[in-house]
């Protein structure tokens, strides 16, 4: 049985499920892929199959012909949340054609700065953001730069997918993306959206993106994360951000840290934060975002 | 207020001589726009009557309109002045409500995903107990098509933005390390939904920051601005600069005119700010196009520190 903290969040999620089976970012709003996936992960094994399957069927219906996923019913463009749909397939143990098409789309997508043309052009023009173009990550929107959050979500998805996809490219992209995250670490030891500095001046890290970066770096053989974990623990102690506390909680628990249960009151209007808070609670499903190779 | 063709201009004839006679037709703003500048020494005074006065002096009548107040929330740092002060936002809310408008506050920050967390850090919740009933996270709102925009055939925007009769830009008066100055026009970046376009809103950068500022301001034309210049930010804005006490609020419906006036108060030449050069096609930027009401910009001018990359935009 879930504890009170998690149970009230799961109850709130059940109350916020839309008629189409999905969840909006806010209760009563239209369904989006991101809050739908995290609500399904939070409710995994905690609700009856019919309600879970309605959400799952909605996610499945949003796959585009090229293998990517759309963000919601209205948009028809490939979206970064494709990575989340792949993670959900892994959790459900559904390794069918849809899953493989999604993985192939993810592997074919890179930050614009890391395309062959951009890397060639980059030999001749100033790289004012200071990003190392060799270490390819993933963008929010195809045709733009790679950033920490979509790269971390893609790493979680590909690391979970790895045992089910026979692909050297998948392993190469994991190594490159881990390298990208490590090279964009802020001087204070955490991560922000993905720029260490602007005009030579260091930029600060944020709680939510530090949590996400650590999630992407789970099982990274190159990373010595003790300093990063210390920074994350420090941010967790300082921040009041629901999203920040939830992402830090998920990643720190997955990295073996023993954390007390959060005590902030429920804010049911915000569905995404509610689902992530449920996942971040002890036994709340954060382990679903661990790479397949890691021990439970 | 009517744009006229440049085709008849002598410069076009020079273009013909140079073999470029098919230069696309460009409109240019003709007319005048009022901009009101009022002194406000601190955030501790009662700002509601001051804002009511600024609205009235600017000739705006918002009665019966759905009004979206769009503050500027970026990040939070106790040591500096990044965001629109909550007292300005609350006072604007009360002023527009008193004038009979249906008011909502909305913002879609460009760096931080936790909009509610940012509003909490920035003191919005402690200054406005009813914020939860009136605030919309524009990054995660329901969306609808806004038509072709920013190089996209079908651009999506928050429904709250598209359904507003009047968008009131409530920026902080700041320098900006990529654009020179960030004021009421640049503040429209927060209308772009991160849930579709990400954090940062990178398609705007690929389209060009100046181009995107202009495109968003061409698309959203029912506007008003109240610039928080009580304490601005100078130097390496919009995040890492230093607080700059200015003691003013600036008001107006023509956002280009408001921004040009703010630039002059900041010691910046608006004709050297790229997006304001382009905005001359649809807004008042030249001094003789702006009817200054209240304080004269030259009387309240306090030069903002500029980073070396923008030293050339200093107003002589």
Q: What is the CATH number of the domain that holds B114?
A: 3.40.50.11440
Residue B194 located in a structural domain: yes
Are B266 and B181 contacting, i.e. CB atoms less than 8 angstroms apart? yes
pLDDT at A106: 98
Residue A47 located in a structural domain: yes
Closest partner CB to A199 (pick from B177, B198, B202)? B177
pLDDT digits (tens, 9 = 90+) for A89-99: 999 999 999 99
Residue B19 located in a structural domain: no
If we measure between CA atoms, which residue out of B200, B243, B203, B309 comes closest to residue A201?
B309
- For chain B, which ranges sit under pLDDT 50? 1-20
pLDDT at A9 exceeding the cut of 70: yes
Query: Cis omega (within 30 of 0) on the bond before A35?
Result: no
Residue A295 located in a structural domain: no
* CATH number (domain holding residue A15): 1.50.10.20
Residue B25 located in a structural domain: no
Residue B1 located in a structural domain: no
If we measure between CA atoms, which residue out of A56, A32, A193 comes closest to residue A111?
A193
Residue A291 located in a structural domain: no
Are B60 and B54 contacting, i.e. CB atoms less than 8 angstroms apart? no
pLDDT digits (tens, 9 = 90+) for B142-154: 999 999 999 999 9
Residue B10 located in a structural domain: no
Q: Which two tokens stand for residue A282?
A: 């002890």
Residue B209 located in a structural domain: yes
| Least confidently predicted of A84-88, A152-156, B4-8 | B4-8
Residue A84 located in a structural domain: yes
pLDDT at A52 exceeding the cut of 60: yes
Number of folded domains in chain A? 1
Task: From chain B, pick out residues whose CB is under 8 angstroms from the CB of A29.
Answer: 141-142
Q: Is the dihedral of CA A36, A41, A46, A49 positive or negative?
A: positive
pLDDT at A128: 65
Residue A289 located in a structural domain: no
pLDDT mean over A120-137: 78
For B163, the domain range is: 34-313
Structure confidence at residue A134 as a pLDDT band (50, 70, 90): confident
Residue B254 located in a structural domain: yes
Question: For residue B203, what is the nearest residue in chain A, using CA coordinates?
Answer: A144
Alpha-carbon Rg for chain A in angstroms: 18
Distance from CA of B244 to the nearest CA of A (A): 20
Distance from CA of B49 to the nearest CA of A (A): 34
For A201, the domain range is: 4-260+268-281
Q: Which two tokens stand for residue B27?
A: 């409109």
pLDDT at B24: 67
Residue B17 located in a structural domain: no
Residue A296 located in a structural domain: no
pLDDT at A199: 82
pLDDT at B23: 62
Choose from A109, A137, A270 for mutation: most chain B CBs within 10 A: A270
């Amino acid at each position: 049985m879930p504890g009170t903290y998690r149970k009230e969040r799961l109850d709130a999620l059940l109350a916020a499920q839309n008629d189409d089976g999905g969840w909006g970012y806010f209760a009563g709003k239209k369904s989006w892929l991101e809050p739908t996936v995290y609500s399904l992960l939070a409710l995994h094994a905690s609700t009856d199959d019919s309600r879970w399957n309605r959400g799952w069927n909605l996610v499945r219906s949003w796959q585009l012909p090229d293998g990517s996923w759309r963000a919601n019913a209205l948009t028809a463009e490939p979206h970064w949340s494709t990575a989340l749909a792949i993670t959900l397939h892994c959790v459900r143990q559904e390794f069918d054609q849809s899953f493989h098409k999604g993985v192939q789309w993810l592997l074919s997508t890179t930050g614009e700065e890391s395309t062959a043309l951009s890397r060639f052009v980059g030999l001749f023009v100033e790289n004012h953001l200071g990003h190392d173009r060799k270490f390819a990550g993933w963008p929010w929107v195809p045709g733009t730069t790679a950033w920490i959050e979509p790269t971390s979500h893609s790493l979680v998805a590909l690391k979970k997918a790895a045992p089910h996809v026979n692909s050297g490219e998948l392993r190469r992209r994991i190594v490159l993306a881990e390298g990208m995250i490590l090279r964009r670490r802020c001087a204070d030891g955490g991560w922000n959206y993905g720029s260490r500095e602007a005009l030579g001046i260091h930029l600060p890290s944020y709680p939510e993106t530090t949590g996400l970066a650590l999630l992407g770096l789970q099982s990274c053989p190159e990373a010595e994360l003790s300093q990063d974990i210390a920074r994350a623990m420090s941010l967790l102690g300082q921040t009041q951000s629901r999203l920040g506390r939830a992402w830090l909680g998920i990643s720190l628990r997955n990295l073996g840290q023993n954390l007390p249960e959060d005590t902030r009151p429920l804010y049911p209007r915000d569905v995404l934060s509610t689902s992530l808070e449920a996942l971040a609670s002890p036994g709340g499903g954060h382990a679903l975002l661990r790479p397949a190779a890691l021990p439970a | 207020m009517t744009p006229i063709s440049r085709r008849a201009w002598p410069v076009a004839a020079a273009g013909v001589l140079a073999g470029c006679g098919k230069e696309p037709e460009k409109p240019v703003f003709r007319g005048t726009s009022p901009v009101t500048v009022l002194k406000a020494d601190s955030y501790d005074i009662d700002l509601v009557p001051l804002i009511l006065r600024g609205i009235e002096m600017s000739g705006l009548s918002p009665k019966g309109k759905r009004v979206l107040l769009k503050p500027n929330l970026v990040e939070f740092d106790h040591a500096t002045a990044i965001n629109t002060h909550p007292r300005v936002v609350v006072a604007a809310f009360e002023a527009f409500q008193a004038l009979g408008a249906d008011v909502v506050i909305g913002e879609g920050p460009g760096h931080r995903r936790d909009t509610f967390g940012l509003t909490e850090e920035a003191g919005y919740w402690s200054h406005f107990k009813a914020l939860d009933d009136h605030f919309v996270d524009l990054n995660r709102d329901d969306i609808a098509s806004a038509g072709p925009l920013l190089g996209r055939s079908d651009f999506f925007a928050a429904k709250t933005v598209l359904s507003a009769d009047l968008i009131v830009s409530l920026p902080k008066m700041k320098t900006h390390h990529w654009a020179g100055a960030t004021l009421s026009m640049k503040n429209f970046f927060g209308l772009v939904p991160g849930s579709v376009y990400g954090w940062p809103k990178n398609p705007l950068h690929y389209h060009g920051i100046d181009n995107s500022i202009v495109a968003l301001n061409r698309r959203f034309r029912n506007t008003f601005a109240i610039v928080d210049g009580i304490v601005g930010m100078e130097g390496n804005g919009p995040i890492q600069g230093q607080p700059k006490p200015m003691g003013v609020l600036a008001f107006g419906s023509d956002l280009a005119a408001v921004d040009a006036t703010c630039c002059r108060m900041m010691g910046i030449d608006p004709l050297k700010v790229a997006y304001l050069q382009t905005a001359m096609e649809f807004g008042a930027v030249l001094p003789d196009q702006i009817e200054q009401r209240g304080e004269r910009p030259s009387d309240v001018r306090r030069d903002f520190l500029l980073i070396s990359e923008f030293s050339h935009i200093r107003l002589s």
